[in-house]
Amino acid sequence: MKILVINAGSSSLKYQLVDMDNESVMASGICERIGIDGLFTYKPQLEGKTVVKDLAVSMPTHSEAIQTVLAALVDKDNGVIASMDEIDACGHRVLHGGMEFTESCIVNDDVIAAIKKCIPLGPLHNPANLTGIQACQAVMPKTPQVAVFDTAFHMTMPAEAYIYAIPYEYYEKDQVRRYGFHGTSHRYISARAIDLLGNPEHSKVICCHLGNGASLSAVVDGKCVDTSMGLGPLAGFPMGTRSGDIDATIMEYLMGIYGYDIKEMMNILNKKSGVLGVSGVSSDFRDIENAAKEGNERAQLALKKYFYEVSKYIGAYAAAMGGVDAIVFTAGLGENSPATREAICANLGFMGVEICSERNNIRGGEHLISSDNSKVKAFVIATNEELMIARDTKELVTK
Ligand code: AMP
């Protein structure tokens, strides 16, 4: 069985063709600048096939992008499949499933309508995700489409974790509550961690998805009980450009001084804050680490603030779960920055967390990085959201 995994953004579309017989990637790539001009990247994984990088292809809409992907996959010389009929199903990442979706599902008219209903909750992503689904439906009308939601894994949170302490009517009437994101990644790495722990009957895992966007989750016996992002992805600890949790009074105060409207204010919190805002250097941790090494004090402060807030969340989740068996690091920073993992874990010595510097000196893969004396196991586990989407898709279409 072959599954095409699609992650559609407003002007981009990432794709991966997965052979589910051995869960191997046959080809992957990205369409960028959709609606502007169009750039196409295609990375076939079969021997003798050629990588295509940043090829200019006209893509006025996502429909042309999907057609470009399919044409490359079946290309007589450079393709990886003989015909489109070999694609058994498509799996789509959808950002916001609101309260409607607690798990992945096969797309039908009701599902499309429900995803549309969630657009106010995910105004930047859900329209693009829908466009990706509808573009696939248009060019592959007989192929089943599956939607996999970023929010679904977190729907097991208890009410005390998801409710905000504002008038209850906003929850009842307007679905204002904590939803959380990166759910597919948290689901993947928590399941792998439980596996690496030897599949105990009971487990308490803290997942740290530390990328440009970042979130933590607390997972008891494989079920999410709390997560750091909220109604939207701005909440939690500081990220590349997002502020994380702040006192809402700051917004009123700055809007009063500078006359910002709410859009400008939100843009500052989403795009100009986080480690970029504090350091003034970059949103990329590699740049900030380099600047900090050269003595840039704001870069040093940005890193200190980041480590402080992430370790505070880990402490809070250990308290929420009444203990912790494993802490897992994943995504760009979590997988690739030994210094970040070491600095965060250094704040957690009181919980019995002890990192082994030698084991920690790795990037990606799946590794134990805690010492043999550590009371809590720490792992690096490379996330694989695409594989999770492909697995869900296979399960649903073969049911
Ligand atoms: P992601 O959103 O998961 O792709 O993560 C992207 C972020 O990971 C970048 O903004 C970088 O800050 C960070 N990152 C990636 N590689 C490294 C590295 N080798 N060292 C430090 N940070 C890294």
User: pLDDT tens digits, residue range 318-372?
Assistant: 999 999 999 999 999 999 999 999 999 999 999 999 999 999 999 999 999 999 9
User: Atom 15, ligand 1: which residue's CA is nearest?
Assistant: 332
**Global pTM exceeds 0.75:** yes
384 neighbors 93 (Cβ within 8 angstroms): no
Please report the pLDDT score of residue 9 as a whole number.
86
**If pLDDT is split at 50, 70 and 90, which confidence band does 399 have?**
confident
Q: Give the Å distance between the CA of 159 and the centre of ligand 1.
A: 33
Element of type H or E holding 133: helix 126-139
Cβ of residue 332 lying under 6 Å from some atom of ligand 1: yes
**pLDDT tens digit sequence for 149-205:** 999 999 999 999 999 999 999 999 999 999 999 999 999 999 999 999 999 999 999
Please report the pLDDT score of residue 303 as a whole number.
98
Please report the pLDDT score of residue 124 as a whole number.
83
Q: Give the Å distance between the CA of 286 and the centre of ligand 1.
A: 7
Of 189, 208, 275, 285, the residue with max ligand 1 atoms within 8 A of its CB, to mutate for a pocket test, comes to 285
Extended strands (E) in the chain: 2-8, 13-19, 24-32, 39-44, 52-56, 87-94, 105-106, 145-149, 204-210, 214-220, 223-227, 326-330, 366-368, 377-381
**pLDDT tens digit sequence for 263-277:** 999 999 999 999 999
Cβ of residue 274 lying under 6 Å from some atom of ligand 1: no
**If pLDDT is split at 50, 70 and 90, which confidence band does 10 have?**
confident
Q: Give the Å distance between the CA of 185 and the centre of ligand 1.
A: 16
- Name the residue among 249, 235, 305 with its Cα closest to residue 277: 305
Of 188, 242, 333, the residue with max ligand 1 atoms within 8 A of its CB, to mutate for a pocket test, comes to 333
